[in-house]
A and B are shown apart, each in its own frame.
Chain A
Amino acid sequence: MSAIAKSPWVVHFNCSSCNGCDIEFLACLTPFYDVERLGILHVGNPKHADVLVVTGSVNHRTARVLKNVYDMIPSPKVVVAMGVCSSSGGIFAEGYNVLGGIDKVIPVDVFVPGCPARPEAMLDGILKAAAILDRKAREGTGVATVSAAKPVINLVPLAADAAPAPAAP
């Protein structure tokens, strides 16, 4: 195992979550679960992070921000979608403003199911992400990022943008 698998620093982004997943994620930091014993640190700055943890589905407003945060993380990096919302849109999938899971906007490496995902599942997800991080670091396949001086503002048009809003049932 390389050093990167032993110190995955996590930045947490609340895309448009109901806060259920966020509270469960914060529970991972408490002495009961204590993520730091695995070398995991919760950082507030994407430039220091290796793992991007996203909770909540992505909508028109947050898509740009999410892409921006993703671009600011230096590679190698991995993305963990926490909870069904960030995996597929969850119960908000039908919302008029919701684009769906975060994989519509950025590449996702690990999906953690659950509504909300349990802290144990989250820990498991981050450790899986750390293994992927390790592999990416070794193969040098981490996605190269654009320069942080020029954040990506214009997203590629998404399919969901073009399609008409689903009719109310």
Chain B
Amino acid sequence: MISWDQVAIGAAALLFAPIVGALLQGVDRRLTARIQGRRGPPLLQPFYDLFKLLGKEQLIVNRMQIVYAWLHLTFMAATVMMLALGQDSLMLLFVLAFSTLSLVIGGMCVRSPYSRIGSQREILLMVAYEPVLVLMVVGFYLVNHSFSIATIWQADQPLMMRLPLLFVALLAVAAIKLQKSPFDLASSHHAHQEIVKGITIEYSGPGLAVLELAHFYETTLVMALLALFWATNWWIGGALALGAYLFVILLDNACARLTTLWMFKFMWTVVLGLALTNIIWLYLSIQHIL
């Protein structure tokens, strides 16, 4: 049975998640500008961009592409809602993968080579970070004996105590999800790059606005996932997520964009290694072998 409480929480998550995401991006753009010795745009700049895009003309290359943009947004919003309602974390992962896949198919269904290259890189990024996310869910299960996110909230020990290395691995995933250097291969947020914003190249006006909105949700989702590692105290959890955000911004400014092959090697050796080590250690300590 769905109670009214759940409906209210879901609606609030849908409403406030993009606002939080946009504000976070505003902070990001301003902070990045300060790091580079510039003044930077106003804090509300992501909102201006979004409203401007909504008011523009839509040039449609392929109608299906717009459908996929909407699917991307819908699935992304669904993941945020599932997280807010404390649903199954494994299911959340699948919905998130569907969301990213819609973006990829959207980029693939036009003939622009840049769009195709962007989509292919997005697939590679997915292959690189999905195993870490799966290990994260495995970690959740090993700690709490349940895939449900609600049990994480009720646990009396923060996840961070048992999954510290996995958190570090998740920082790299966060950098990929937030499209930050050195992982911003498929589409980067600031300025243009060698594939001219790749995957989003054929979207214009409202279509692009839908993608921006989805990215606001994505930003909030990543932050919420990181905050989950200290769910016993939301203040510490929030601080943890914000600290991670700061780290990712610093990383973005300190690094150049690197090649896909490098990214792949790094993710499948160092990052996946960190996550696996954590899981194996956790398993052994649960079995009282260690």
**A binding-site residues for B, Cβ under 8 Å:** 2-4, 6-7, 31, 34, 36-39, 41-45, 47-48, 50, 72, 74-76, 137, 142, 144-145, 147-149
Contact = CB atoms under 8 A, between A and B. Distances in A.
A74 B204 contact: yes
Contacts of B33: 34, 36-37
A74 B58 contact: yes
A142 B49 contact: no
Contacts of A38: 41
Interface string B194-234: 00110011111100100000000000000000000000000
B289 interface: no
A44 B56 CA distance: 18
B39 interface: yes
Nearest to B32: A36
A36 B34 CA distance: 12
Nearest to B192: A44
A31 B33 CA distance: 8
B2 interface: no
A47 B39 contact: no
B180 to A, nearest CB: 17
21 contacts: A2-B55, A3-B51, A3-B55, A4-B56, A6-B45, A6-B48, A7-B52, A36-B33, A37-B38, A39-B42, A41-B191, A42-B191, A45-B201, A47-B202, A48-B204, A74-B57, A76-B57, A137-B55, A142-B57, A147-B60, A148-B59
Contact of B40 (A37, A74, A148): A37
Contacts of B191: 41-43
Contact of B61 (A75, A144, A149): A149
B38 A144 contact: no
Contacts of A3: 47-52, 55
A5 to B, nearest CB: 9
A31 B192 CA distance: 17
B48 A47 contact: no
Contacts of B45: 6-7, 39
A44 B197 CA distance: 8
Query: Contact size class for B?
Result: 35 or more
B41 A4 contact: no
Contacts of B51: 2-3
B30 to A, nearest CB: 9
Contact of B192 (A34, A37, A43, A145): A43
Given A39-B48, A75-B56, 10 more contacts: A2-B55, A3-B50, A3-B55, A37-B40, A43-B191, A43-B197, A47-B201, A47-B202, A142-B57, A147-B59
Contacts of B58: 74
Nearest to B39: A37
Most chain A CB inside 10 Å of its own CB: which residue of B29, B55, B193: B55
Nearest to A137: B55
Interface in B59-104: 59-61
A31 B59 contact: no
B29 to A, nearest CB: 7
Contacts of B56: 4, 50, 74-76
B287 interface: no
B192 A50 contact: no
B41 A37 contact: yes
